[in-house]
Amino acid sequence: MRREPLPKDALDEADRALINTLQDGFPVSAAPFAEVGAALALSEDDVIARLARLRDIGAITRFGPFLDAAAMGGAFCLCAMAVPEERFDEVVTLVNAHIEVAHNYERKHALNMWFVMACERPEQIKEIGAQIEGETGLKVHLFPKLEEFFIGFRVQA
């Protein structure tokens, strides 16, 4: 995944408008790109070509459905581990091998590996946490959310 900012001129006004609009949602209809284009005065072909380019240059990470594990009867859980530097690559491989690990970040702290598990059954959180502890010999700290305070942040492109 791209970690560096794109050159300032990489996106034009229409690209920015597309990114801003599509963060809020995308219609379920027979010709959704034409519908999105109509609202932004862009043709259907133009919308599709711009999205393909934005994906290719790494301006967007995903375009599609976002699932809610909890609504499905499952659960998300933030987890953290303190991984010795010399074992880091080995442990990344073991942790990422679990399909339930949806995101994983290295962070600067004694707890230096932070990942999110997305499970279809809530009891899997503890099971997979225990599996990872068994595979790595390292403690997995579980930080399930107790409350969410979220207003609806959007990046302004």
Q: Judge contact between 134 and 104, C-beta under 8 A.
A: no
Pairwise CA distance, residues 93 & 67, whole Å: 25
Gyration radius (Cα) of the chain, Å: 20
Task: Decide whether 41 or 151 has the Cβ nearer to another protein.
Answer: 151
| Binding status of residue 130 toward another protein by CB under 8 A | no
Q: How far is the CB of 98 from another protein (least distance, A)?
A: 10
| Residues in 78-107 that interact with another protein by CB under 8 A | 78, 80, 82, 92, 95-96, 99-107
Residue from 111, 122, 131, 136 in contact with another protein (CB under 8 A): 111
| Residues in 29-58 that interact with another protein by CB under 8 A | 29-34, 44, 48, 51-52, 55, 57-58
Q: In Å, how far from its chain's centre is CA 116? A: 10
Query: What order do you get walking across the sheet with 75-81 strand by strand?
Result: 113-119, 75-81, 141-143
